[in-house]
Amino acid sequence: MPHFRLRCSLCDRLYSFDTRAWRCTCGAPLDVEVLLQGFTLDFEKLRARENTLWRYRELLPIREQNSIVSLGEGFTPIMVREINGTKVVYKLDFLNPTGSFKDRGASVLISHLNEIGIKEIVEDSSGNAGAAIAAYSKAAGIKCRVFVPAEAPFGKVLQIIVYGAEIIRVPGSRENVNKAALEAAQKSYYAGHLWNPFFIEGLKTISFEVYEQTRGVPDAAILPVGSGGLLLGVHKGFKELREMRLAEKIPRIFGVQTYGFAQAYERLHNKKVKKAEEAILADGIAVPNPPRIDQIVRAVKETGGDIILVSNEEIIEGFKDLASLGLFVEPTSATAQAALNKLIKEKVFERGSTIFVPLTGIGLKATDKIGKYILK
């Protein structure tokens, strides 16, 4: 059976799973390492298991079964379409319980906190992660406070409130929100999804599902990048499949950012990007200074991928393309389609390639922006 350990991503210091530290003393993020020790998934036996991400129980770092906090997340459907000779696998992750892919991370993170006896947490989020953390905290009986930008979408804030979490609106930049949350966390536990490695453990399960549902590994994956958790989770999931000798390759990783928040693009290409003066349509990836930026860039480089920048106009076109397929997503999800359109136009993929595109959030969460910017 696999073993797990908590290690600093920079200085290699090891931590106990019971630690309340949310980052290393050197300032770097922590990672959960999976030591497979010859273990491999038997997908034939998995057929008899529940259709949630917990079907991959052995590869998730929760020690006791009764610690698990689940709302039925994961194993979301796929929809396959051919676009200009390219096979596109859309993963409908907006059909998770709270309407976004963040439920994957929240389930594993809150299960971990439940296991180590945490009773009160603080999170900072523009919306989806806050809603997911609030929902799973409520299910676990953990008191939750969520710090959000003052201009956070009403639908997402309302969802957090409905789940019973305390909302703290913070004026100014996303950095102000993070600072306020960290200050409050001095008397609580900081469960920030930007930093917490257990959140990424939940996100990696999307790779296992795509492998199981398509019976193979896509040639590329196109992933919105805010904090980078999804990109790192997808990369980690396929790496573990390769280590188990189930997959021969890891997909080329293509991250997607906007001109207002292009730090990973700037780091990868070693050049500055002029900020757009337009409003931020994809608020879900409006994350300044992602703490795992070095890991994001490394994953992109290792797989021969790239970071793609998209404008509001391109996001709107991506949204409309998805709507024409019957898919109603929030603008942040549409960034992946916008990037796909650019990459196909630039003939980055060979004909017959398989491209994985997760659709991360439901459009019902962003009806205000959709009405204001897309249907105007």
pLDDT digits (tens, 9 = 90+) for 12-30: 999 999 999 999 999 999 9
Q: Is residue 89 part of a domain?
A: yes
Domain assignment of residue 72, yes or no: no
Same domain, 152 and 188: yes
Same domain, 166 and 82: no
* Residue 361 lies inside a defined structural domain of this protein: yes
* Half-sphere exposure (Cβ direction) of 57: Cα atoms closer than 13 Å: 15
Are 141 and 159 in the same domain? Answer: yes
**Do residue 96 and residue 235 come from a single domain?**
yes
The rounded distance, in Å, linking the Cα atoms of 147 and 118 is 19
In this structure, is residue 140 part of a structural domain?
yes
Domain that holds residue 149: 102-196
Q: Are residues 106 and 94 located together in one domain of the fold?
A: no
Between residues 346 and 373, the one the model is more confident about: 346
Summarised one tens digit per residue, pLDDT across range 48-66 is: 999 999 999 999 999 999 9
pLDDT at 277: 67
* pLDDT tens-digit map of 253-312: 999 999 989 999 999 999 999 877 677 899 889 888 899 999 999 999 999 999 999 999
pTM comes to 0.96
Q: Note whether 219 and 356 are same-domain residues.
A: yes
176: confidence class by pLDDT, cuts 50, 70, 90: confident
What does the pLDDT read at residue 278? 75
**Domain end position, chosen among 138, 170, 196:** 196
- Tell me if 52 is assigned to some domain: no
Residues 180 and 320 in one domain: no
Q: What is the pLDDT of residues 336-368, one digit of tens each?
A: 999 999 999 999 999 999 999 999 999 999 998
Residue at 69 is within a domain: no
- Tens of pLDDT, residues 78-134: 999 999 999 999 999 999 999 999 999 999 999 999 999 999 999 998 789 999 999
Q: How confident is the model over 314-342, as pLDDT tens digits?
A: 999 999 999 999 999 999 999 999 999 99
Residue 137: inside a domain, yes or no?
yes
- Together in a domain, 222 and 326: yes
Give yes or no: residues 267 and 362 share one domain. Answer: yes
**Is 351 found in the same domain as 224?**
yes
Domain endpoint, select from 128, 162, 196: 196
Average pLDDT over every residue of 241-259 = 97
pLDDT in tens, 157-175: 899 999 999 999 999 877 8
State whether 204 and 192 are in the same domain: no
Q: Is the pLDDT of residue 186 over 90?
A: no
325: domain CATH number is 3.40.50.1100
Judge whether 110 lies within some domain. Answer: yes
Looking at residue 65, its pLDDT comes to 96
Domain end call among 133, 164, 196: 196
pLDDT over 90 at 155, yes or no: no
Q: Check: CB of residue 285 under 8 Å from CB of residue 225.
A: yes
Total domains in the chain come to 2
Amino acid occupying residue 364: L
Same-domain status, 154 and 215: no
